[in-house]
Structure formats: structure tokens, C-alpha cells
Amino acid sequence: METFLAQLVKVQPAPEPWVVVVSALAALAVVTFAASWRVARGLVTIAHEGGHALMALLTRRKLEGIRLHSDTSGVTLTRGRPTGPGMVLTALAGYPAPSLLGLAGAALTVQGRITLLVWVVLLLLVCMLLLIRNLYGALILLVTGGAVFALSWFAPIEAQQAVAYAAVWFLLFGGVRPIVELQRKRRRRQARDSDADQLARLTFLPGGFYVASFLLVAAASAAAGGYLMSPF
């Protein structure tokens, strides 16, 4: 256990600048191209629903469970007052969660805490697995968690660094695109039950205000994370 804890908090040397640049370009490509985004978007959904679940617990709402679907959508089921601060904060937490998680990851990567970052992600996935209420959601979390565990246990530190940087860049970039997609659907009146529209019904502010707020948090997180991880 002492050896494990020592390894967990060990500071790894900074990667070569080209590793940071290539990982950023790779993550940007995955988010930009439709085919790769359709496959990878589910990872953003995991963070999104995890944000709802965490806030529900913090606001003392009863968490019924989480469902992740094969179309990369998801839903977090909670029980409690249908209005009030707890419901508002729970609805608010979804869209900013991937970006804020990416920003936290950026802070750890630039400190060389790659192993700590990997195991924190693994712990979060295990906690989320306990809340999953459908087979596909359990399967996707097991696959993701297995990949993270294999990375931490078998991959050399250079590979861990490259994957960690790519994953953090992906969360920073990937946190922006779903918000843009949300607004497009709202313009076509295809997202009447979106988080933004639920918040509009819960408060006196329009849904567009919340979309703008989500986008501001995502853009600020991407800018701050990019600044932290920039090798130049």
C-alpha cells in the first residue's frame, strides 16, 4: 500500500512539447469530424450525467440512477421537490461538467500528476457504475474503466502522458460541441425537455440565457485549460 500511494502521488517529468501539440490536434480532430464524434460523444455524456448525479447528491436529492443510451444520450433520475434550488442546481450541472472536469485534469497534468489523474478517473467511473440502471450503460462504463485500468497498470509512463493529455484536451474541446448542438436543436424546436428548457420552466430566465451560460463556462474552461497545458 505504501508503494502504491508513493506511486500515486509521484510527479512525472513534463512530456515533450510535440506530445502536447499532437494530443491537442488529435482531440480536436475527434471532436470536429462527425464520424469520430458520434463514437466519442458517449464519453462526454458520461461526464455530463456524472455532473447531474454529483450535484443531486450534494443538494440532498434522492438519486434513483443513471441511464446511458447507445445514441450517446443519457438521463439521470432523481427524486425530490420538482422545484427549488436543489432541482435548479442539478439541472445546471450537466453541460458544464465535462469542461470543468477537463480543467481539473489540465491542472493535474501540468503538475505531472498523471498517475493520480488516471486513478481519480477510474474511481469516478467505479462510483458511477454503481448508479447505472441499464445494461448498455454498465457495458460502456466497464469498457471505459477497463481501458483506464489497463493504461495505468500496463502502459509505460510516456503512453500514459500522451493519453492523459489527449483525454483532457478532448474534454475541453468536447465540452463545447454539445452546447452548440443543443442550441441548434432548440432553434428547430427539437429539444423541449433539454436542461436549458427545464431551467427556463424552473426559473424566470429564458432557456437561451442558460445555453449562453453553459457556453461561457465551456469556452472559459477550454481557454484556461489550453493556457495551462500550452508547452510554449
Q: pLDDT for 79-95, tens place per residue? A: 988 889 999 999 999 99
Q: CA geometry: angle at 181 spanning 103 and 82, to 5°?
A: 80
Which pTM value belongs to this model?
0.94
C-alpha cell at 201: 420552466
In the prediction, which pLDDT does 153 show?
85
Measured in whole angstroms, the distance separating CA 80 from the mean position of its chain's CA atoms is: 25
Measured distance CA(79)–CA(84) in Å, rounded? 13
* Per-residue pLDDT, 103: 97
Q: With residue 139 as reference, give the H or E element that holds it.
A: helix 135-154
Q: Are 177 and 31 in contact (CB under 8 A)?
A: yes
Buried b (16+ CB within 10 A) or exposed e, 64-78: eebbbeeebebbbeb
Cell numbers placing 136? 448498455
Q: Residue ranges of the chain with pLDDT lower than 70?
A: 1
- pLDDT for 135 equals 96
Please give the pLDDT value at position 231. 85
Q: Would you state the pLDDT for residue 7?
A: 74
Cα 54 from Cα 31, distance rounded (Å): 25
Residue 74 has what DSSP assignment?
Answer: E
